[in-house]
Every structure is written in C-alpha cells, then in structure tokens.
Amino acid sequence: MELPPYRFVFLEDDLNTFTFVTDHLLTYEVRFKESGYIFPDDPALWPFVFEMMIILVDFETSRKTPPDRRIPPTIAAIFKTFLLRNERVIVYICDSSDKRETVRARKFDAWFDFYQGMEFIKINQNIIDPSGIVYLTSLITRSDNPLKTEMVLAFSKLISDANDKS
C-alpha cells in the first residue's frame, strides 16, 4: 500500500526550495539550484537547468536516520511540482563525499522508476574526472518538454567532453 506524501511547502524567500517534516520530526529540504553553467556551450538552455539536492536539516551525523516509507512519495510529489512549472530539466549528481554515491543512486533510481509514470524521461550517465573519481549523474525532464532534444544533446556532450578529459 502506497503511503501519502508528507505535506511540503516552498520556502518563503525561495520558490526553488521545498521543505517537509517527517513523522520522526526530521526536516528535509529539497533544493533546485539554478545550474545553467553545466551546459556552457548552450546559453539558451541556461534558464531551464537545475541541480536537485536532498538535504537533511539539523541532523546529528552520529545518529542513523530511521526508515520512512513516506519520503519517496514526498520527493516524487515535489519533483513533479517543480518540473510541471516550465520546460525545466534536472541534473542529479549523487553526492560522493562520503563514498555512498552508489547507494544514493540506487535509491534515487528506485524512487524514480516507481513514481515516474509516462510523464518523465531519465538518462543516467557517469562522469569520470581526471583523478578517476566517478560521478553518477542523471538528466531528468518531462517527456513533453519542447527543449528535450536540445537538452539531451547538451547532456551527452557534457558527459563526452568530461570523459574525454579523464
């Protein structure tokens, strides 16, 4: 049985940041950061490109977060709300600072696969930097986005250029 999402709100001073509080009284922020710089050769796309970050606010890293089956539908609802506004595209880069990027990518992919329906497309690619670090990335957009072809081409070029440098 699918549980309902948590109630979420925009931050008053930033319509690209959503926040919600779980039943365990943990506060999450889902931020969509303007990131046109990702596609430096395509300035026409810049206003539509965002990175997504899921941030646990005010949490002691020594504690383990309890499992919560209402977080995935909440993230999905926020994601849909954000993407339905315009011809936006999300570039999701898994945080690798603690070496748990594979776990994050797997969890995000499972959420996306479960909640996407026919409304969205997602392309997964890896970027390998010159030191050999692999960054797990995804491009996500609405399937009816009129800029979809341009964005997919720009994303493919970004991945190709980055991997050619490594």
- The per-residue pLDDT for range 58-113, each reduced to its tens digit, is 766 657 778 888 998 898 889 888 888 777 888 877 766 677 677 777 777 777 77
Q: Which residues contact 64 (CB under 8 A, 6 or more apart)?
A: none
Side-chain half-sphere exposure of 144, counting CA atoms within 13 A: 7
**Given pLDDT bands bounded at 50, 70 and 90, which one contains residue 117?**
low
What's the token pair of residue 121? 């497309």
**Given pLDDT bands bounded at 50, 70 and 90, which one contains residue 9?**
very high
d(CA 142, CA 145) in angstroms, rounded, equals: 5
pTM of the model: 0.81
Please choose, from the candidates 79, 91, 72, the residue with its C-alpha nearest in 3D space to the C-alpha of residue 33. 91
What's the token pair of residue 74? 């909440």
Q: pLDDT at position 155, please?
A: 92
What's the token pair of residue 119? 């409304």
32 vs 15, 46, 54, CA distance in Å? 9, 14, 9
Contact between 78 and 7 (Cβ < 8 Å): no
d(CA 166, CA 96) in angstroms, rounded, equals: 18
Contact between 115 and 159 (Cβ < 8 Å): no
Strand, helix or coil for residue 26: coil
Contact between 154 and 162 (Cβ < 8 Å): no
What is the share, in percent, of the chain residues with pLDDT greater than 70?
89
d(CA 116, CA 159) in angstroms, rounded, equals: 24
